[in-house]
């Protein structure tokens, strides 16, 4: 058994997310990659990713691993896949990993970026990678609000996950908020993010930025442990998984 670790980038615009779906497997990143890798390796390949990404969400550094019975040169896998893969998905790196490496269980930190284009017109060249919101964002207020989110908290208010059995406690190590020209980038680094968590955090911080919430209000939202108290789920196209650390 050989275990391969891949780093993958994708423009998620045209996909129903990472996770393979029975109805239309090739409309997902996982389904598309598994299909080509299975042909390449002449056996059924199953990918284990660091986590799912939603429909329309992008990645610059998704990580996934897969096992093969036979040994293949990493470069020969790349060369094969490059012939057949659509241009909106790219394998940035592939190497043989230790037998025990597991892309989901071994992930220590993930970094997501959420981008907002605040221009009157969206930048045509990044329109698929930014949420277009022509409003002035008060970055200082957003930074104050984000400080309340850093650390280990119960983020039950910031997920659309319905299960009451699973823990909703997560640790956010850092949130950076930066502006370059019209583009505001919210960068989150943490030990794990639940379904829609980064988009709900971003929707809530945007409400702080436009003055619809105070930075202090974030404390009440955390305390409530109730989805209804946080802001809207910001649109998928602004979100990108940029890094997974092991």
Number of residues that bind a second copy (CB under 8 A): 26
Q: 92 or 171: whose CB is closer to a second copy?
A: 92
Establish whether 54 is a catalytic residue: yes
Please state the closest distance from residue 5 (CB atom) to a second copy, in A.
17
Rounded to the nearest 5°, which phi and psi values hold at 177? Answer: -130, 115
| 148 vs 216: CA distance, rounded Å | 8
Dihedral through CA 74, CA 245, CA 195, CA 96, nearest 10?
20
In the set 54, 117, 128, 154, the catalytic residue is: 54
Q: 221 or 243: whose CB is closer to a second copy?
A: 243
Which range, of 36-44, 48-56, 86-94, 199-207, touches a second copy by CB under 8 A?
86-94
Q: 217 or 237: whose CB is closer to a second copy?
A: 237
Q: Which of residues 125-184 bind a second copy (CB under 8 A)?
A: 125, 127, 129, 132, 134
Please state the closest distance from residue 116 (CB atom) to a second copy, in A.
14
| 49 vs 65: CA distance, rounded Å | 7
Please state the closest distance from residue 132 (CB atom) to a second copy, in A.
7
Q: Are 209 and 138 in contact (CB under 8 A)?
A: yes
Which range, of 43-51, 123-131, 139-147, 172-180, touches a second copy by CB under 8 A?
123-131
The single-letter DSSP state of residue 35 is H
Which range, of 48-56, 76-84, 152-160, 222-230, touches a second copy by CB under 8 A?
76-84
Q: Are 137 and 116 in contact (CB under 8 A)?
A: yes
Strand partners, 7: 63, 93
> What is each CA distance from 235 to 74, 153, 206, 238, in whole angstroms?
36, 24, 12, 6
Strand partners, 188: 112, 175
List, by residue number, the catalytic residues: 54
In the complex, which residues of this chain contact a second copy (CB under 8 A)? 9-11, 58, 60, 78-79, 82, 85, 87-92, 119-125, 127, 129, 132, 134
């Amino acid at each position: 058994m050989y275990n391969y670790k891949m780093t993958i980038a994708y423009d998620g615009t045209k996909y129903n997310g990472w996770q393979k779906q029975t109805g239309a497997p090739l409309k997902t990143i996982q389904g598309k990659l598994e299909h080509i890798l299975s042909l390449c390796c002449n056996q059924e390949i199953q990918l284990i990713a660091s986590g799912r990404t939603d429909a329309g969400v992008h990645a610059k550094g998704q990580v996934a691993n897969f096992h093969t019975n036979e040994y293949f040169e990493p470069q020969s896998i790349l060369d094969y896949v490059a012939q057949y893969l659509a241009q909106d998905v790219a394998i940035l790196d592939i190497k043989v990993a230790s037998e025990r490496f597991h892309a989901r269980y071994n992930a220590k930190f993930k970094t997501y970026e959420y981008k907002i284009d605040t221009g009157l017109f969206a930048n045509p060249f990044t329109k698929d990678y930014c949420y277009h919101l022509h409003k002035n964002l008060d970055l200082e207020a957003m930074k104050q609000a984000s400080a309340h989110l850093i650390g280990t908290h119960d983020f039950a208010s910031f997920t659309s996950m319905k299960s009451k059995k699973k823990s909703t406690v997560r640790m956010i190590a850092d949130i950076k908020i930066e502006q370059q020209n019209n583009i505001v980038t919210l960068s989150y680094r943490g030990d794990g993010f639940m379904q829609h968590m980064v988009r709900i955090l971003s929707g809530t911080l945007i409400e702080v930025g436009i003055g619809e919430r105070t930075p202090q209000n974030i404390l009440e939202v955390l305390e409530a442990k109730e989805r209804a108290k946080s802001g809207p789920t910001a649109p998928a196209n602004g979100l990108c998984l940029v890094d997974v650390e092991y």
